[in-house]
Structure 1
Amino acid sequence: MTRLPHAATSPAATLPRASASASASASARPLLEVRDVRKIYHLPRGQTLKAVDGISLSVMPGEVLGLVGESGCGKSTLGRCLLRLTDVSSGQILFDGQDITALTERALRPLRQQMQMVFQDSYASLNPRRRIGDLLAEPLRVHPGPDGRKRSRATITARLHELMELVSLPVGALDRYAHEFSGGQRQRINIARALALSPRLVVADEPVSALDVSVQAQIVNLFADLQARLGLTYVFVAHDLAVVRQISTRVAVMYLGAVVELGETDAVLHHPAHPYSAALTAAVPRPAVGAARAAPLGGDIPSPVARPAGCRFHTRCPAMQERCRMEEPALRAIGPGHFVACHFPLAEG
């Protein structure tokens, strides 16, 4: 496999490119590349919080990368960094081969059409004072059409009707306000807004965590249907592995700002190599009566302001050894397309 250029500042920076999905050829270049990205917040009294701590990965066109981990692990911060909604402290983010980390807002604006986000809070992300039609039409008015010209009113109206059809909402919804819809319907509206400009990459930040279980399944199915119909590329952020398993082709497991395991979805979920991944997998409900379950993960996530020395997971790891206290493991290959940051992985090959 082709490898990302080595970054000497991070042992985890040399990673293979993502496996191509069925819709992408093996020779295609990644749509998104993340190279040793860090996001550091400077706090009072000289303290620093490393929300994203040296992450490198790639996403191929048409792929769905699931980004999972407990609350506070940095996955939402990374998702915002990918779209330059939050500036990175160091490292590179390449979109379709172009480094976007240092672009000015003016230079970045044409790329905004190709990179969109679906936020977690379906209500807070919609202006309650404006009709849904106005909210969806705004990006179509702000950005020019494919021919570089301002879109006509008729063109915008036709596109709004297309968007309603895509997310299975009636056209009459365009004349209503956000408070008139259920949580699931509001999330469909947010998805429609993200799709308004026909993006290539969509980052979905915990898009179903605030919804009822039955509605979650509907929204996940909608994401999957849109990905198949439109050839979209997703970075799907979630803390629920059951949700990620439904839609992702690959999974990156994050802990305390770093990726601790990366691989094909089936490999990571059925044969987890990192003890943390195994604990997350064990927490997924099993329908079979008497199905074997691993012991639940104990303890709390350490403060990212005072991250433990050595392996960042060793304070909660049931298999911790002395080496884990002293030496931070690098993300290394243990099989084709399967990587883990653990001195003593649970599975190899």
Structure 2
Amino acid sequence: MHSTPSTAQAARSLLSPYAAQPLLAIRDVYKTYSLKRGQTLRAVDGVSFTVMPGEVLGLVGESGCGKSTLGRCLLRLNDVSAGQIIFDGQDITHLPERILRPLRQQMQMVFQDSYASLNPRRRIGDLLAEPLRVHRTQDEHRHTSAAIVHRLEELMELVSLPRAALERYPHEFSGGQRQRINIARALVLSPRLVVADEPVSALDVSVQAQIVNLFADLQKQLVLTYVFIAHDLAVVRQISTRVAVMYLGVIVELGQTDAVLHNPAHPYTIALTQAVPRPVVGAPRHVLLRGDIPSPVNKPAGCRFHTRCPAVQARCQSEAPILTQINPDHAVACHYPVLK
């Protein structure tokens, strides 16, 4: 069942704390899959938020919560089942591909698997040049051989790789280097929005920090807008302007990074923040969540989190909470939020 009008209206009022027009707005987005035996999987279950130009929205949650599916929906790599996706004021939810194609230059994605994202039979230079040849514009000078070579050399410098890398194949690079190449490919057409789908989760910890720093540097240098998907709160804290916490297809907490991570109000967010390793001697131990994550095919009634919540009450088992603003830069979907 989709959100009631009151739920949708409440969610829309919390889309962003900014007054300017958002670069990206999603409104009551659903993504469902039909399974065998008449079952339905609601991977994304009525999500609304906006992303402002130059902002970094961190989308965080456990594996299977729907965040990667949502990321693909944002760029129309997956079609939504219901709701709206609005990019720069234009509703792109149902645009045919021939009309959507020019907009794809402005929306790019960096995937989790750096090796699977690259054709192993093609040189890096060919892989990076292909978008320039496919997305031709009225500026033909941009697509001359000399201009393409110049652009590729610029990209190598941006991601701190040698120009000689353009002549090599994907298998000749480490995982971190391949992810730098994927970032360069996402930037080749100078997009305005980049969706990064867990871009560091498959990398060693030392390399993760380098890639996150690269994302941060590029965002400032090129004034990019990110939706940065991760399950690691340390990564989200480092790069995000705002954070959206997702659980079983819904947003349970949304707000400025400091507000959400330093003063979490939802029990699930509290558990996530307390699970981050603390190097300080005497730091409080994290609270273990009871039980397993419910099946996304058979989600609990009422609050999705009530089967694992340490503070569950009777109301939580029958009534789904609405994302409600608790201060100007912080919203939470909980009947009994922890307020400080």
User: Partners of 1:135 and 1:339 in 2: how far apart?
Assistant: 42
User: Partners of 1:289 and 1:167 in 2: how far apart?
Assistant: 38
Q: After alignment, is 81-90 or 144-153 more displaced?
A: 144-153
Q: Report 1:242-257 matches (<5 A).
A: 242-257=234-249
Look up the equivalent residue of 1:94 and give its one-letter code: I
Quote the residue 2:335 is aligned against. Answer: 343
Question: How far off its partner does 1:19 sit?
Answer: 3.7
Given that 2:196 and 2:228 are in contact with CA atoms closer than 8 Å, whether structure 1 keeps it comes out as yes
Unaligned runs of 5+ in 1: 1-5, 21-26
Taking a change above 3 Å as real, the CA distance of residues 86 and 332 of structure 1, as seen in their structure-2 partners, is same
Question: How far off its partner does 1:309 sit?
Answer: 0.4
SS at match of 1:252: strand
Given that 2:17 and 2:328 are in contact with CA atoms closer than 8 Å, whether structure 1 keeps it comes out as no
Look up the equivalent residue of 1:63 and give its one-letter code: E
Question: How far off its partner does 1:294 sit?
Answer: 3.2
Pair 1:109-2:92 in alignment: no
Quote the residue 2:148 is aligned against. Answer: 156
Quote the residue 1:64 is aligned against. Answer: 56
Quote the residue 1:267 is aligned against. Answer: 259
RMSD in angstroms over aligned alpha carbons?
1.5
SS at match of 1:305: coil
Pair 1:289-2:281 in alignment: yes
Look up the equivalent residue of 1:134 and give its one-letter code: D
Aligned length in residues: 337
TM-score by length of 1: 0.94
Look up the equivalent residue of 1:14 and give its one-letter code: R
Alignment counterpart, residue 14 of structure 2, candidates 13, 16, 24 = 16
User: Partners of 1:232 and 1:18 in 2: how far apart?
Assistant: 18
Taking a change above 3 Å as real, the CA distance of residues 176 and 204 of structure 1, as seen in their structure-2 partners, is same
Q: Report 1:46-85 matches (<5 A).
A: 46-85=38-77
Question: How far off its partner does 1:336 sit?
Answer: 1.0
User: Partners of 1:188 and 1:182 in 2: how far apart?
Assistant: 10
Q: Note the alpha carbon deviations across 1:170-222, whole angstroms, 9 max, x for none.
A: 00000000000000000000000000000000000000000000000000000
Quote the residue 2:222 is aligned against. Answer: 230
Question: How far off its partner does 1:299 sit?
Answer: 1.9
User: Partners of 1:12 and 1:238 in 2: how far apart?
Assistant: 26
Q: Report 1:12-51 matches (<5 A).
A: 13-20=11-18, 27-51=19-43
Question: How far off its partner does 1:292 sit?
Answer: 1.6
User: Partners of 1:11 and 1:54 in 2: how far apart?
Assistant: 12
Alignment counterpart, residue 334 of structure 1, candidates 317, 326, 332 = 326
Q: Report 1:302-317 matches (<5 A).
A: 302-317=294-309
User: Partners of 1:35 and 1:285 in 2: how far apart?
Assistant: 35
Look up the equivalent residue of 1:122 and give its one-letter code: S
Higher RCO structure (Cα 8 Å, ≥6 apart): 2
Given that 2:7 and 2:322 are in contact with CA atoms closer than 8 Å, whether structure 1 keeps it comes out as no
